[in-house]
Amino acid sequence: MHRRLFRWRLAVAAAGALMLLALYFSLVYAPTERTMGQVQRVFYFHLGNAWNAFLAFFLVMVASIGYLKTRSRRWDIYAEALAEVGVVFTTVVLITGSIWGRAAWNTWWTWDPRLTTTLVLWFIYDGYLALRASLENWETRARLSAVYGIVGFVNVPIVFMSIRWWRTIHPVVISLSGMDMDPRMVPAMLASLLAFTLLLGVCTVLRAQISQSADALQSMKDAFRQD
């Protein structure tokens, strides 16, 4: 048990350090973007969050397939944890996205295909969490949310494509990709990307531990009630 604790602290420390590094890079080291000025710095966080949200939802699909194949509780726990953390990340992406939109192009919502897909993703996985909440027997909950986890993610490429076409029909003022990447921005982007991935890992494991201990508690209660 001691070794796991040590590794856990190491992970949290690493996440913290990397976060600080990312902060330093994006706020100080990276140059201010010519057209948008300071506000562009939020891009690094926005991107870090967005990519990790997609990663989280992809891993939910992987965990769902894992559960359907092995029917072991651990996969289901990780699916739930990843979905929850994924939704938190997506919320952050949406909010920072719209604030940035407000600052740069003074519209709250830019209908950029990536941003809109993240919005749709946010709805899909809210549905996922609602589905989980509405089922009591954990085995049916695990099985059905696994199925929805797969259907949800398989749908993402089609959503992205249709929104991209949809947006090209309604040309919108500026899209996020319009920025030129100054080479010095790259470390900031990488650092924040890595920092948030580690954060994703830490949160998921923490959330998974909570479910596991809740499980242990529940089985102890059952045992306690029966004898």
**Residues forming the site for another protein (CB under 8 A):** 37-39, 41-42, 45-46, 49, 68, 71-73, 85, 88, 91-92, 95-96, 99-100, 102-103, 120, 123-124, 126-127, 130-131, 134-135, 138-140, 142-144, 146-148, 150-152, 154-155, 158-159, 161-163, 165-166, 169, 199, 203, 206-207, 209-210, 213-217, 219-221, 224
Q: Which is nearer to another protein, 159 or 190 (CB)?
A: 159
DSSP class of residue 221 equals H
Residue-by-residue DSSP string for 75-103 = HHHHHHHHHHHHHHHHHHHHHHHHHHHHH
Contact 30, 184 (CB under 8 A): yes
Task: Please state the closest distance from residue 120 (CB atom) to another protein, in A.
Answer: 6
> Is the backbone of residue 74 left (phi > 0), alpha (psi -120 to 50) or beta?
alpha
In the three-class reduction of DSSP (H, G, I as helix; E, B as strand; rest coil), residue 167 is classed as: helix
d(CA 147, CA 1): 34
Task: Please state the closest distance from residue 36 (CB atom) to another protein, in A.
Answer: 10
| Structure-token pair, residue 208 | 């998974």
Task: Please state the closest distance from residue 2 (CB atom) to another protein, in A.
Answer: 18
Contact 40, 98 (CB under 8 A): no
Task: Please state the closest distance from residue 169 (CB atom) to another protein, in A.
Answer: 7
Length of the chain: 227
Q: Which is nearer to another protein, 186 or 213 (CB)?
A: 213
In the three-class reduction of DSSP (H, G, I as helix; E, B as strand; rest coil), residue 153 is classed as: helix
Contact 42, 192 (CB under 8 A): no
Q: Which is nearer to another protein, 102 or 187 (CB)?
A: 102
d(CA 62, CA 56): 10
Task: Please state the closest distance from residue 38 (CB atom) to another protein, in A.
Answer: 5
Q: Which is nearer to another protein, 85 or 188 (CB)?
A: 85
For 139-148, b where at least 16 C-beta lie within 10 A, e where not — what string?
Answer: eebbbebbeb
Q: Which is nearer to another protein, 35 or 72 (CB)?
A: 72
Task: Please state the closest distance from residue 161 (CB atom) to another protein, in A.
Answer: 7
Q: Which is nearer to another protein, 9 or 221 (CB)?
A: 221
Task: Please state the closest distance from residue 3 (CB atom) to another protein, in A.
Answer: 20
